[in-house]
């Protein structure tokens, strides 16, 4: 069934988009990471202009994040104080991100920068995930168990403005979570992603937060970052396609719930290995589009 997207100004097959949202949602639910970094490139492959894809995926991101926070909140796994500091940084970051977005749009290089950022990120995440899960599989076969890194005191703990985070049992400077928030905010605005793959390791290894609190707290901050990005993109660039976002989010929220129910069916490392292949494949397709000679070196676009 074709549905006309009012902002992208083109018809799209609603069932296919719903299905993509659903599949990405299932992966999100099973692995426990956001799917923005897969949804945006897939929408670009479907012919949605990249600025609209980024802004609409950021819009849909609000839904699975709320849904996730509610479940984590029930189990007491959200550090709201830490989350608030992260989100202050995130809101600043996403505002900076939208500003960069506008500048790139004005000089006509937005599409290229979005695609290039994706190539870099997908390559990094994909290969890291591949190596990590591959190692784990080898190690479990050999029967060796590894210990996770313990957090160590370093120069980061000497920063000023120290605050006590009771929930996380931490006494650290608020500067670091603020900076992490800003970086994640910029990424959300430019790429339409929640940045879970950056914020989660940063919270564990740099801030030293307990692993149980990390996902809930990062989802809490992502709600506000995604909401801020959506409102800024909508009001400054009119790039948020609410119909596209709605179809994607219905698919993904259902997928996430199903995925999280079945997350114990498959071994985490096997799932991650599989996901790393998908990520590398999507990245490879993006880079291929950038390096192969275009059918026509000239292209046209309707402008105001």
Partner 1 sequence: MRTLIKNILLIIIIALNSFTVFAKDNLVTDLSESTVEISSTFSGADILLFGAYDGQKNDDIIVVVSGQKGNIKVDKKEKKFGIWMITESIKFSNVPKYYYIASNRKIEEITNKSEIKKRKLDFNNFELKNNKIDYKNIDKKWYEALKRNMKKKQFWKIEENSIKLNKNTLFRKTLSLPSNVSTGMYNVKILHYRKGNLISQEESKIKIDKTGISANIYNVAQNFSAIYGIIAVIVALFFGWFTNFIFRRI
In whole angstroms, what is the distance from residue 140 CA to residue 82 CA?
A: 35
Q: Which two tokens stand for residue 86?
A: 């992260």
Q: Which residues in 250-289 are b (16+ Cβ under 10 Å) and which e? A: bbbbbbbbebbeeeeeeeebebbbbbbeebbebbeebbee
User: For the purposes of burial, counting CB atoms within 10 Å of the CB of 92, is it exposed (0-12), middle (13-18) or buried (19 or more)?
Assistant: middle
Residue 6-35 contact track with partner 1, rule CB under 8 A, x = bound: xx-xxx------------------------
Figure out which of the listed residues 164, 235, 262, 266 binds partner 1, where binding follows CB under 8 A: 235
Question: Binders of partner 1 among 119-158, rule CB under 8 A?
Answer: none
Figure out which of the listed residues 75, 146, 152, 304 binds partner 1, where binding follows CB under 8 A: 304
Query: In angstroms, what is the minimal distance from the CB of 299 to partner 1?
Result: 5
Q: 228 vs 43, 165, 171, CA distance in Å?
A: 21, 25, 29
Query: In angstroms, what is the minimal distance from the CB of 227 to partner 1?
Result: 4
Query: In angstroms, what is the minimal distance from the CB of 139 to partner 1?
Result: 35
Question: What is the SS3 assignment for 209-267?
Answer: CCHHHHHHHHHHHHHHHHHHHHHHHHHHHCCCCHHHHHHHHHHHHHHHHHHHHCCCCCC
Q: Give the interface size with partner 1 as a residue count (CB under 8 A).
A: 60
Query: In angstroms, what is the minimal distance from the CB of 131 to partner 1?
Result: 25
Figure out which of the listed residues 92, 156, 231, 278 binds partner 1, where binding follows CB under 8 A: 231
Question: Binders of partner 1 among 170-189, rule CB under 8 A?
Answer: none
User: Could you say whether residue 201 binds partner 1 (CB under 8 A)?
Assistant: no
Question: Binders of partner 1 among 65-104, rule CB under 8 A?
Answer: 65-67, 70-71
Contacts of 222 (CB under 8 A, 6+ apart): 34, 61, 65, 90, 184, 188, 194, 195, 196
Residue ranges binding partner 1 (CB under 8 A): 1-4, 6-7, 9-11, 59-67, 70-71, 108-109, 112, 116, 223, 226-227, 230-236, 238, 240, 242-243, 245-246, 249-250, 253-254, 256-257, 290-294, 296-304
């Amino acid at each position: 069934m074709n549905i006309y997207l009012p902002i992208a100004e083109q018809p799209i097959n609603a069932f296919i988009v719903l299905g993509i949202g659903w599949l990405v949602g299932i992966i999100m639910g099973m692995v426990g990471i956001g799917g923005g970094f897969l949804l945006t490139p897939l929408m670009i492959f479907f012919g949605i202009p990249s600025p609209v894809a980024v802004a609409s995926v950021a819009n849909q991101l609000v839904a699975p994040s709320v849904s996730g926070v509610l479940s984590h909140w029930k189990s007491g796994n959200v550090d709201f104080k830490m989350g608030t500091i992260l989100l202050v940084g995130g809101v600043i970051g996403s505002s900076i991100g939208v500003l960069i977005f506008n500048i790139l749009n004005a000089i006509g290089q937005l599409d290229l920068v979005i695609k290039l950022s994706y190539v870099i990120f997908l390559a990094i995440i994909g290969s890291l995930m591949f190596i990590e899960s591959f190692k784990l599989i080898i190690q479990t076969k050999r029967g060796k168990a590894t210990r996770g890194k313990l957090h160590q005191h370093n120069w980061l703990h000497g920063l000023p403005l120290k605050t006590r985070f009771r929930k996380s049992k931490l006494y650290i400077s608020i500067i670091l979570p603020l900076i992490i928030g800003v970086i994640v905010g910029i990424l959300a605005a430019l790429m339409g992603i929640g940045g879970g793959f950056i914020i989660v390791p940063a919270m564990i290894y740099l801030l030293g937060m307990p692993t149980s609190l990390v996902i809930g707290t990062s989802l809490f901050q992502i709600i506000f970052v995604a909401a801020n990005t959506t409102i800024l993109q909508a009001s400054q660039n009119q790039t948020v396609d609410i119909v596209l976002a709605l179809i994607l989010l219905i698919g993904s929220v259902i997928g996430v719930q199903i995925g999280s129910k079945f997350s114990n069916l498959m071994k985490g490392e096997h799932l991650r290995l599989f996901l790393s292949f998908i990520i590398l494949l999507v990245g490879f397709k993006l880079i291929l589009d950038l390096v192969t000679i275009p059918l026509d070196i000239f292209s046209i676009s309707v402008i105001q």
